[in-house]
Amino acid sequence: MNGLKINRMIWIFLVSVATAVLAIISGYLQYKEKLDSTAKALNKEKELNEVYKKLQSKSDTIISSNNEILLLNEKLIIANEEIIKLQSKLEGTYSGGKSFPELKIIPLDNEKGQMVLIHHGEFPLFDISMHAVDLDIHNKIVAQRGSNQFKMDELALFSVDLQFNSLQIGNQLAIGTFISDYSSNKKSFNIFYSARNGLYIQAIRLFKKDRIWHSGTIIFNREYKEVYRSIDKELPFDLFNWNIKEK
């Protein structure tokens, strides 16, 4: 009986030991599985970090390339603007660009007015034709005749026609006298220009106050858009008709 009891106790002990060993082994296996899982997760994170680094490097390369493209594009825009400026300068040098002439008429006495042709703008003017009309005499003859049709030799009664090969930058040229009646206290002229760069029309209005002549001038391009104006403060602007279509 005692032997059986001992054997039973040994068996129980062995079973307990075996159970404990199995529990330890099971715990170890679970721990090892967790370690393996953690290691896999770490490896996966490393792989993801490597992929992220590669993507980041590619992104930096793309951004750098885009910046270089933008810089090149800016340089191309600047170069294109320079080309346009050079083309405009070349065209202006040949045609005159937006330059235009101005005529000043300075009364010398009751019969003569000194004519001075003035250049305005950045480029010389070429192939200039000028047709200057004394509106006071023109309108007086038209009122007497009831017609604005004139023979060629009659135009000299109220107009002057001149041609110039060129007018250089900053030039102010005395170009002769305009014979007319300057005995009244006001005069009106319209000037019609043709040059290589287009047509211009100028209105000149003169007013005499206390024996001193004051002038006003407005210049228009062929679309009748005003490009220049100079009015003496002593000139009564509303006293005059500024119509520029009288030839």
Instruction: Give per-residue pLDDT as tens, 154-178.
Output: 788 899 999 999 999 999 999 999 9
Q: Sign of dihedral through CA atoms 131, 102, 121, 201? A: negative
Mean pLDDT of 74-83: 74
- Calpha distance 211→207 (Å, rounded): 10
Write out pLDDT tens, residues 223-245. Answer: 999 999 999 999 999 999 998 86
- Across 41-45, 124-128, 132-136, least confident range: 41-45
Handedness of CA 195, 197, 201, 205 (dihedral sign): negative
For position 164, what pLDDT does the model report?
Answer: 96
Q: Which residues pair with 125 in a beta bridge?
A: 167
Residue 5 token pair: 């009891």
Contacts of 3 (CB under 8 A, 6+ apart): none
- Does the pLDDT at position 187 exceed 60? yes
Report the percent of the chain where pLDDT is more than 70: 85
Per the listing, tokens 């930058």 go with 169
Contact 106, 81 (CB under 8 A): no
Q: What is the pLDDT of residue 178?
A: 97
Interacting residues of 106 by C-beta distance below 8 A, sequence separation 6+: 113, 114, 116, 213
Dist. CA 21–CA 13, nearest whole Å: 12
Residue 191 confidence (pLDDT) above 80: yes
Res 134: pLDDT: 96
Contact call for residues 195 and 127 (beta carbons, < 8 A): yes
Q: What is the pLDDT of residue 165?
A: 95
Nearest residue to 131 via CA among 106, 160, 156, 103: 160
Question: What are the beta bridge partners of residue 221?
Answer: 200
pTM > 0.95: no
Q: Which of 16-25, 83-92, 209-218, 238-247 has maximum average pLDDT?
A: 209-218
